Chains A and B, each alone.
Chain A
Amino acid sequence: DVKVTQSSRYLVKRTGEKVFLECVQDMDHENMFWYRQDPGLGLRLIYFSYDVKMKEKGDIPEGYSVSREKKERFSLILESASTNQTSMYLCASSLEYRSPGEQYFGPGTRLTVT
């Protein structure tokens, strides 16, 4: 079974803090994705990566950056957290290069910024 893990299920941070969310997948998938999920808005793509050290902006990249130093690990960074970044963050991976394909999701991190 594909397993996608995220570093925390719940996280509380203060405004202005730097926040790291980590995601690890164990099935040698090429592609990894970071989404946020907000009520009434559905899942929105923040960043994605098709290869190590490669990243591409999604629909809402402002205020975020990412890092993919190893194939299995994709990190989302909030350089200076703000209250409007309070959300559920979901990581996903998929096998086929440059195709969103069938995505496998992590359990999510519920981030609260106070």
Chain B
Amino acid sequence: KNEVEQSPQNLTAQEGEFITINCSYSVGISALHWLQQHPGGGIVSLFMLSSGKKKHGRLIATINIQEKHSSLHITASHPRDSAVYICAVIPYNTDKLIFGTGTRLQVFP
């Protein structure tokens, strides 16, 4: 079993829909990242959070440390949001990220 699990693996949506991507992890962590990877490879960091909630534009990330769970929400989704979204955690007492396998999102007009 992977230490970082994402769900769903694939997600399709119509433009305008509210989208939720989930990340569960099994280790104690100091922080969690949400990353976005567009076709072609480049990865961009969206959020790094260790508690509560962060918002940037139409993106909202939440984390519940006790439940070892984080969610990434996209409001009013748009075709340009189509990408792979990756969750990664920094376990305590380590200097490496552990990555989930990603959620592939396709938003259709």
Contacts and interface: CB of A to CB of B under 8 A. Distances in A.
B67 interface: no
A107 B40 contact: yes
A42 B103 CA distance: 10
B101 A100 contact: no
A90 B102 contact: no
A90 B102 CA distance: 15
Interface in A76-101: 88, 90, 92, 98-101
Interface in B8-49: 33, 35, 40-45, 48
Nearest to B89: A100
B42 A108 contact: yes
B96 A42 contact: no
A104 interface: yes
A42 B86 contact: yes
Interface in B71-106: 86, 88, 90, 95-97, 99-102
Contact of B101 (A42, A45, A59, A92): A42
A40 B96 CA distance: 20
Contact of B43 (A44, A45, A105): A105
A39 B43 CA distance: 15
Contacts of B100: 42
A7 B102 CA distance: 26
Contacts of B95: 48, 50, 98-100
Interface of B: 33, 35, 40-45, 48, 86, 88, 90, 95-97, 99-102
